[in-house]
Structure 1
């Protein structure tokens, strides 16, 4: 008999894909949605809530085997909050631990928490990837809030016996991706010349299907209990390589100008865009050796296949 799953964040980019996979795999799924939300995939039980940090879940969690927590206040580029850390803590720490405590009290066996690589930090030296065992060094309020949630979950697991699985994704891309990845596809599709033809960094990415596959693996795999896993596609790309391969997926030429990365970094810093410079020119690599060995898990989708699927969705839905 399939596990009974309680899923948060089902209207989000990752959570929505997790929901579709769980329904396809015939899990019994309950989704928790904000009062103004709707789910359009599958026939699933839905419970409504106003805020994660104050919601009462006792009745909804009875009979649930595994809780998959994708809901979060996500990282935003231009945060309007006067106290961003407090805003992140409210949802990502207080909301997560309120839900997790009630899950433990209701007899939920396992809590799968989608965290972030930002717990590890903002970047790596090339050839020195992050590992799940590294000392966390979050560099922004979002990363701090995710680390504090992880710490609270581990303490709760030790105290109650509920198993906790923590997954830290890198940048996730796939059909329906937004933000900078979507902008990159738009530039390439329009044939805009870009000054990124000589960037020799190395960045780990993860296709949406690969991340979802690991989350589903973490629901049932015995060895996942009380472990932290990093996840990526298993192939790191420079910004220049990513642009060339994304352009190929779009069926367009990549018009890349070989501007030295130091020049781009200098210009970005002068314009107050240091974080953008880090993402474009800096490295961020993860070692998924533990994920592979402990769970016998291999990313099911190769990078070029994932880029093609992402490009096809973009081309089908782009605004003319």
Structure 2
């Protein structure tokens, strides 16, 4: 990890510690002797460490007093995450219960307990859904969330800024793009499985650009934000710093898996039409649309650049996938 900042010994609370990002972050922060890390997970989770503090489902009623004892820094990664096929009748209301009301409750109690800095893991969906026919998203442009998840994350950000403005607690907001790495699931895992089995894929002619971030680079950036003085009160986007088309991502992932990719060069318009017919316009956007972010602010304010390359990160991810698939 990047070691530009040398923090004094401090207690760091990490919520969502049983999740993909939280679990990796906890293990990385534990390698730094200057930190005392307290993992926090919801009580219905099962994949947590023995030292994890369990809390009830996160809401406006959650009592965080046990968690906040002696806490100086918080990384709030717990959330009601985005799902592709939302089934809730009032999805926005369900997202708000955890992502807005639950976050406010934690932040208010944290500020009252004397927590110095609150790092909120938000989402690029606060910026919007795509960057087709425009420049990459930047951290300080006006947000334009569309779906309930993105709206709830934006509302939480606004509430955190308000709490920070009337207390002594600093707030830093981080909006990651798609995160991948060892143990990744969902679409990224499916993609690796297709490639490893030699399945012919119709994605050989997609010329979009998408930003990704490896779990290693994301957690390194969170580490830097824990105490860097210039991170206070700021919002950041984070990525690997190099954007790939869907076609290039498939080719590079196949190389990492030591297999040959078989990609048919079908026109992207054909794929978009097929997605519309199948009522999967969301999938079409992910495969054919662009979503790019700028990390120039990270470099300028914090002196941060991604410590590992996409090629290195994909190799680590692929090796872990192959080991798990044995």
Shorter-normalised TM range: over 0.9
Residue 276 of structure 2 corresponds to residue 273 of structure 1: no
Contact 1:206 1:231 in 2 (8 A): yes
Q: Which residue in the other structure is 1:147 paired with?
A: 154
Q: Which residue in the other structure is 1:35 paired with?
A: 43
Q: Which residue in the other structure is 1:66 paired with?
A: 73
Match of 2:305 among 298, 305, 318: 298
1:192-211 C-alpha deviation (Å, 9 max, x unpaired): 00000000000000000000
Contact 1:8 1:15 in 2 (8 A): yes
**Comparing 76-85 and 273-282, the one that deviates more:** 76-85
The residue matched to 2:67 in structure 1 has which SS?
helix
Q: Which residue in the other structure is 2:12 paired with?
A: 5
- In 1, distance between residues paired with 2:66 and 2:197? 52
- In 1, distance between residues paired with 2:188 and 2:225? 27
Q: Which residue in the other structure is 1:285 paired with?
A: 292
Residue 114 of structure 2 corresponds to residue 115 of structure 1: no
The residue matched to 1:269 in structure 2 has which SS?
helix
- In 2, distance between residues paired with 1:124 and 1:150? 22
Q: Which residue in the other structure is 2:253 paired with?
A: 246
TM-score (norm 1): 0.96
TM-score (norm 2): 0.95
Q: Which residue in the other structure is 2:173 paired with?
A: 166
Q: Which residue in the other structure is 1:104 paired with?
A: 111
Which ranges of structure 1 fall in alignment gaps of 5 or more residues? none
Q: Which residue in the other structure is 2:58 paired with?
A: 52
Q: Which residue in the other structure is 2:5 paired with?
A: none
1:94-137 C-alpha deviation (Å, 9 max, x unpaired): 01110000000000000000000000000003561000111111
Contact 2:25 2:219 in 1 (8 A): yes
Contact 1:119 1:138 in 2 (8 A): yes
Q: Which residue in the other structure is 1:259 paired with?
A: 266
The residue matched to 1:112 in structure 2 has which SS?
strand
- In 1, distance between residues paired with 2:39 and 2:161? 24
Q: How far apart are 1:7 and its partner, in Å?
A: 1.0
Q: How far apart are 1:29 and its partner, in Å?
A: 1.3
- In 2, distance between residues paired with 1:242 and 1:295? 28
Contact 2:17 2:48 in 1 (8 A): no
**Comparing 54-63 and 203-212, the one that deviates more:** 54-63
Residue 139 of structure 2 corresponds to residue 128 of structure 1: no
Q: Which residue in the other structure is 1:218 paired with?
A: 225
Over aligned residues, Cα RMSD in angstroms?
1.3
- In 2, distance between residues paired with 1:257 and 1:39? 39
Contact 1:9 1:15 in 2 (8 A): yes
1:142-200 C-alpha deviation (Å, 9 max, x unpaired): 00000000000000000112100000000000000011000000000000000000000
* Aligned length, in residue pairs: 317
Match of 1:192 among 199, 202, 208: 199
- In 1, distance between residues paired with 2:44 and 2:93? 24
Contact 2:43 2:57 in 1 (8 A): no
Per the alignment, do residues 40 and 146 of structure 1 end up closer, same or farther by CA in structure 2, a change over 3 Å counting?
Answer: closer
